[in-house]
Structure formats: C-alpha cells, structure tokens
Amino acid sequence: MRILFLGDLVGRAGRDAAAAAIPGLRDALRLDLVVVNAENASHGFGLAPDMARALFEAGADVLTLGNHAWDRREIIPYIAETPRLIRPANFPPGTPGAGSALVKLADGRSALVVNVMGRLYMDPLDCPFRATAEVLSRHRLGGTVAAIVIDFHAEATSEKMAFAHSFDGAASLVVGTHTHCPSADHQVLPGGTAFMSDAGMCGDYDSVIGMAKDGAGQRFWRKMPGERLAPADGPATVCGVFVETDPATGLARRIEPLRMGGRLSQAMPAA
C-alpha cells in the first residue's frame, strides 16, 4: 500500500496548497490512502465543515485533529456524522466523534487510521498509550486491515519516540504532528513500523509556525497578550511523509519525506 500523510494545515495558505496538491500527488505517487491533519485549517485554529468537505473532495481519505479540535464549534455536529473526520481517541468518554476510522479503499482493502494526543506540555487527557492499545486490540495489521496509520499529536519528541517504539510492529506508520516543523528522523523501526517525529505543516514558512511574524514575535518580546494571531498568507510548503508497505504484512518497506513549494528545500518521494 502507498500512503501519504500531510502535516498540520495552517490557514488558507496551507489548506489551499494541500487541496491543490493532493490530486496530482495521488496520480504521481499512485497513492492508496491520503491522511491529512487539519486541526489548524481555519485561520490557524480549528476546522470548519466546509473546509473539511473541500479537503475530502480534493482526495483526502481521512482528516485528523488535535488540541484545536473544538475551536470551531460548528464542527461538533459535523464530526458526529462524518466517520472519516476523527479527533484524538484519548479525549474523555462522551466526547463527540471517534478517535479512529476504518476506511475501505478503492481496491477493496481496509485501512485503520488512529488519532491520539500526547500529554507532555499538552492538555492532561487520558493515557494515549493505553487508548491506542485498546483501539489496536480490535484490529490486526496484515489480517483484518492492510495498513494502520497513527497520528500522534504531541509536543515532546521524547514522548513521540517512546510511543512509536511501543507500537513498533503493530502499525504501518506512526507520525507526529503539532510542532509544525518537519523533522529529519524518518526511519523504519526494527519491528517494521515507519516513524517520523513530525510531518511538519502545510503553510507559509516565512512565519512563526505558520502565524504572521510580527504579532507572534511581539508576544515573546513583551510577554503580554496582543493582537489575535493570524496565519501567514504567503506561498505555502506542502509537508508530509510517504510510506510504502508490504502487501502481506502491512509493515513499512520505506519512508520518505515530502516537501513541495514555498520556502523549504524540496523533497519528492520516488514513484
């Protein structure tokens, strides 16, 4: 299976760039599954239903969220009726939506996508390790599902690495989101799970993690609340990670970063 995961979409620049790129990437890389983290798509904070619909129409199979999941309140009824939009599985019981999605692909195979959120320097949610183990107990990689992708939305690299090693061999890909900076540690772990600490963001990198520089910078100079942060709106870099899996086991054969457009050095996976 050929999988593309795109990191946090930030504002209009990020979501427009991703939506424009997905159709061509699906063809060029012969993708079976496209997963996108969209929790910052709406002005940098949350996701609106019309934006989610546009991303699905562009070719995203599953959208994941994170700590800004509920910043747009109109997403609450939408997520309840949209199984391919998921929020972290370790939110408390009774939270709207689901933390995983089982999707049927065009060739008849099934893939499981899981979204969980870290706890170091983040909201004190339920344990992401135990929440993931519970979801995975209902599925078998290479058996009931052909691939398992886990979006671990977390701040600390140490927590992301510990999480990935904990589920090495049980998932096709564990990829971190949230920091908006693409890491250079993409690798296939000893048990066959592909891992990257952070996929980076889809957004304008002439910014402070996607936000306009002046307002964000002043917050550090003055340590006082100022104007509301606004997304940078320059040319966006589409950032993510590509994984190819073994058809028999669902484990990763290779992992490569993707960076296209905007300011960052370019990287395109081999087709």
Q: Is residue 201 assigned to a domain? A: yes
Domain interval for residue 221? 2-260
Question: What's the mean per-residue pLDDT of the chain?
Answer: 96
pLDDT for 268:
97
pLDDT for 222:
83
The answer to whether residue 180 is catalytic is: no
pLDDT of 136 higher than 80: yes
Count the domains in the chain.
1
CA triplet 2, 7, 8: central angle to 5 degrees? Answer: 150
Q: How far is CA 151 from CA 6, 89, 106, 172, 188, in A?
A: 10, 10, 22, 11, 16
Q: Is residue 270 assigned to a domain? A: no
Q: How confident is the model at residue 40 (pLDDT cuts 50, 70, 90)?
A: very high
CATH number of the CATH domain containing 146: 3.60.21.10
Q: What average pLDDT score do residues 124-135 get? A: 97
Render pLDDT for 209-221 as a digit per residue (tens, 0 to 9).
999 998 888 888 8
Q: Is residue 269 assigned to a domain? A: no
pLDDT of 271 higher than 90: no
Render pLDDT for 221-246 as a digit per residue (tens, 0 to 9).
887 776 678 999 999 999 999 999 99
Q: How confident is the model at residue 70 (pLDDT cuts 50, 70, 90)?
A: very high
pLDDT for 41:
96
Cβ 188 vs Cβ 254: under 8 Å: yes
Burial class (CB in 10 A: 0-12, 13-18, 19+), 194: buried
Q: What average pLDDT score do residues 45-54 get? A: 97
Catalytic residue among 68, 153, 178, 186: 68
Pairing between β-strand 187-188 and β-strand 194-196 as defined by DSSP bridges: antiparallel
Q: Is residue 9 assigned to a domain? A: yes
Measured in degrees and rounded to the nearest 5, phi and psi for residue 159 equal -65, -40
pLDDT of 148 higher than 70: yes
pTM given for the model? 0.96
pLDDT of 73 higher than 70: yes
| Torsion-angle region of 142 (φ positive above 0: left; ψ -120 to 50: alpha; else: beta) | left
Q: Is residue 204 assigned to a domain? A: yes
Q: Is residue 268 assigned to a domain? A: no
Q: Is residue 114 assigned to a domain? A: yes
Q: How confident is the model at residue 207 (pLDDT cuts 50, 70, 90)?
A: very high
Q: How confident is the model at residue 79 (pLDDT cuts 50, 70, 90)?
A: very high
Q: How confident is the model at residue 45 (pLDDT cuts 50, 70, 90)?
A: very high
